[in-house]
Structure 1
Amino acid sequence: MKITGNQIFWMMFSFIIGNTMLISVSRVLNHSKQDAWISYIVSLLLGTFCIFIAIKAGQLYPELTLVELCKFVFGKWIGTLIVLVYLVQWYTVIANIISEFTVFAIAILLPNTPPWLFYFSMLLLVIYVVFSSGIEGIGRSSEVFGPIIFLSAILLILLSITNMEFKKILPVFLDTGFIPIIKGAVPSTAFFAEVVIILMLIKFLDDKKRGPFKTIWGLLLAGTLTIFVVIGIIMIIGPEVAAKQSYPFFDMIGYINIMEFIQNLEIIAVIVWILSVFIKLSVYFFIASYGTAQLFKVKDWRKTIWFVAVISFILCFQFKNENLHGFKYIETYWLKFVLPVNMMIIPFLLWVVGSIRKRTKRVSIGDK
């Protein structure tokens, strides 16, 4: 299985953009109000730094996945423990993404549909893509869906310009200050820094030197687009009102009304969300299946797909009563553990310890 740099670019762009625009905004606005866009700039810089570290760690041994790299760098037992930490993240986030999608779909599209039907349908779709073509199929899908997501978001922003009021974004910094802006940057950093999963994907890139850095460009494009969306939300809805809404981006689209003809464009926002969720869910499902197979030494990684599917389906029911669409999960687990440990500390240690081991090995060979 091989993917190109262009595919990883669109894959990571699509991976980030949907949840970040639709779910993270209200949480950030609660902290930094009209300066939420500054919080996103800070979080984009932090996320880029995290991904740069992850790429440098992965490029030490580009033929290894994260599972193999952890065992090689930290040893069998500690490495296995670290892999289990990542597997817990991947399994739970699959269930959480499906639950978020279900909550959104029931609230906006099909209010009388039982949640389990969405769980089953989305898993079935993802199983088909991952089983039939693995990461290659996800890469090809990203090349098609990524530009659609990008152009759709740009179109919605442009059509919203006539509704924007510049005064709603003022004053800058004075009403919030440094601490609220940093607090607002934390949840959005958790979404941007998710792209450290590149550690599982470098092995599949055809160009292992330049290809991984296309991930950073995908992040920067998604982050920049999100910042413009946040500015639009603030200028149209206002920070106080938007902070209380579950989907402020979706609500912003509802204000579009040009010449009483161009209106009711919420369906475009729904398409952006669904396509992005599909890519993100597929990537997580693939790395969970592939990582599980490597951990338990299953030769045919596709056999673990069914295990991952069953566990994910069961976990979906654990998130069905989440308030504010997964924020309980995000605050109690994602922000307090996954962000500092899985996205920052472990990639940094992999880079440092891996570099030392590689340098030591070269010195030993030179001495001989």
Structure 2
Amino acid sequence: MKQAKISGLQLFYVILGFMLGTTMILGLGAKAKQDAWLVILISMLCGLILMGIFTQLSAYYPEDTLVEMIPKIIGKYLSFPLIIMYILYFIYSAARACRDFGELIVSTILVGTPTVVVIGGFMVLMIYCLRGGVETFGRMGEVVFPTYIFSLVAVWILLMGIEQFELKNLTPVLGNGIKPIVKEVFPGGLNFPFGETVIILMFFPFLNKMQNVRKVGMSIIFVGGILLAVNLIMILSVLGAEIFTKDFFPLLSAARMVSIADFLERFDALIILMMVTGVFFKVGGWTFGAAVAISQVFKLKQTRSLFLALGIIITPLSLIIGSNFVEHLEIGFEYFIPYFLLPLQTIIPILLLCIAFIRKKFNL
């Protein structure tokens, strides 16, 4: 498997698309109201530190994925349950991304269509791509990601041209103090989406030039943070803080307000295109990570059949993780982020780096 390689630019496209994924559509930092964009910028700074941890782990074990380096750091027996936790985390996260996608599509352009049909059809295409290997996924990133950015920039330009666009909606800056911002950054903003880039540890060994690891990783966090912050500034300038905090898909609501000469309307199709593109990277990243992890733990020679099995698991799982979309979001923000993402994406990598440093320092 490790003979297949991707370039630094391909990895940049794939993981940046993965990080942005569904994040652009959802209202991050809503409890900070007009200061939501500050939540993203502060989270980005913390995310750069996290990426520094991930890249240093990769520097210590350049030929290993996350599930291969864990046994070398903490031993064979302690590592097995931890690796299983990471595999389950990858699968569950893929299911959550599919549910976000399914709910948006069913509530907008395919009203009345069973969610299972939307998610199932998407997973068929996703599996077909992933069975081509990491090189195919990387090349798809080169083709698909520019479409994502083009759609995003087009939406921003359209938003700036509407009557309701007012930068004064961002004021007063820090009007509610620093406390709401800190509460949104820790653990929410840090772990979603920046902490999710821990998946990059499953891709680093496939990079054709390992000396680019740190450059690619840091660029992903920085560019992604700036894009997310600008996106929130655009949304807040159109909707205002009150509407922003109550809307499930604020970017979609903002796009629906665009009207050119009362003739060109319904630009929310661009948001749907972005969602499809973003979920492609999101679900693809999680599914690829889970398949590679399973194949390495159980010493399997190939992952092609694993992708099919994971698709069969992820599709129904995405439907049962919440009885409705509100419950799905509540489980994610109230339970999944603080009790699962925080340990797996932040605490455990820090501990692994500390142990790895001691091992390297004293040749243990």
| TM-score between the two structures when normalised by the length of structure 2 | 0.93
Counterparts of 2:183 and 2:334, CA distance in 1: 15
Quick check: 1:5–1:212 contact (8 Å CA) kept in 2?
no
Gaps of 5+ in 2: none
* Residues 58-83 of structure 1, C-alpha deviations (whole Å, 9 max, x = no match): 22111011111011111111111111
The residue number in structure 1 matching 2:118 is 118
Deviation at 1:311, TM superposition (A): 2.1
**In the superposition, relative to structure 1, how do residues 334 and 47 fare at CA in structure 2: closer, same or farther (>3 Å)?**
farther
Counterparts of 1:65 and 1:161, CA distance in 2: 43
Counterparts of 2:306 and 2:214, CA distance in 1: 26
The residue number in structure 2 matching 1:81 is 81
The residue number in structure 2 matching 1:173 is 174
Counterparts of 1:275 and 1:290, CA distance in 2: 22
Counterparts of 2:324 and 2:112, CA distance in 1: 18
Quick check: 1:44–1:220 contact (8 Å CA) kept in 2?
yes
Quick check: 1:293–1:300 contact (8 Å CA) kept in 2?
yes
Deviation at 1:309, TM superposition (A): 2.2
Q: AA paired with 2:99?
A: S
Quick check: 1:94–1:281 contact (8 Å CA) kept in 2?
yes
Q: AA paired with 1:167?
A: K
The residue number in structure 2 matching 1:235 is 237
The reply on whether 1:3 has 2:2 as its aligned counterpart is: no
SS class of match (2:210): coil
The residue number in structure 2 matching 1:204 is 206
* Residues 40-99 of structure 1, C-alpha deviations (whole Å, 9 max, x = no match): 111111122111111111221110111110111111111111111111111111111111
1:269 aligned to which of 268, 271, 288: 271
Counterparts of 1:325 and 1:332, CA distance in 2: 10
Q: How does 1:350-365 map to 2 (within 5 A)?
A: 350-361=352-363
* Residues 288-319 of structure 1, C-alpha deviations (whole Å, 9 max, x = no match): 11101111222223232233222223312312
Quick check: 2:32–2:180 contact (8 Å CA) kept in 1?
yes
The reply on whether 1:91 has 2:91 as its aligned counterpart is: yes
Quick check: 2:51–2:221 contact (8 Å CA) kept in 1?
no
SS class of match (1:337): helix
Quick check: 1:8–1:211 contact (8 Å CA) kept in 2?
no
**In the superposition, relative to structure 1, how do residues 156 and 313 fare at CA in structure 2: closer, same or farther (>3 Å)?**
closer
The residue number in structure 2 matching 1:143 is 142
Quick check: 1:198–1:212 contact (8 Å CA) kept in 2?
no
**In the superposition, relative to structure 1, how do residues 93 and 168 fare at CA in structure 2: closer, same or farther (>3 Å)?**
same
The residue number in structure 2 matching 1:282 is 284
* Residues 170-194 of structure 1, C-alpha deviations (whole Å, 9 max, x = no match): 11112x1111011222423221221
SS class of match (1:209): helix
Q: How does 1:1-368 map to 2 (within 5 A)?
A: 1-23=4-26, 25=27, 27-29=28-30, 31-131=31-131, 133-163=132-162, 164-174=165-175, 176-185=176-185, 186-189=187-190, 190-324=192-326, 326-361=328-363
Deviation at 1:212, TM superposition (A): 4.4
Figure out how many residues of one structure are paired with residues of the other and give that number. 357
* Residues 185-207 of structure 1, C-alpha deviations (whole Å, 9 max, x = no match): 24232212211111111110011
Q: AA paired with 1:222?
A: G
Counterparts of 1:109 and 1:320, CA distance in 2: 22
**In the superposition, relative to structure 1, how do residues 290 and 266 fare at CA in structure 2: closer, same or farther (>3 Å)?**
same
Quick check: 2:44–2:222 contact (8 Å CA) kept in 1?
yes
Q: AA paired with 2:230?
A: F
Quick check: 2:159–2:258 contact (8 Å CA) kept in 1?
yes
Q: AA paired with 2:126?
A: V
Q: AA paired with 1:239?
A: A
Gaps of 5+ in 1: none
Quick check: 2:16–2:220 contact (8 Å CA) kept in 1?
yes
SS class of match (1:128): helix
Deviation at 1:332, TM superposition (A): 4.2
Quick check: 1:135–1:283 contact (8 Å CA) kept in 2?
no
Q: What is the Cα-based RMSD across aligned positions, in Å?
A: 1.7
SS class of match (1:3): coil
Quick check: 1:8–1:215 contact (8 Å CA) kept in 2?
no
SS class of match (1:258): coil
Counterparts of 2:328 and 2:222, CA distance in 1: 25
The 4+ residue runs of structure 1 with deviation greater than 6 A are none
Q: AA paired with 1:135?
A: V
SS class of match (2:257): coil
SS class of match (1:77): helix
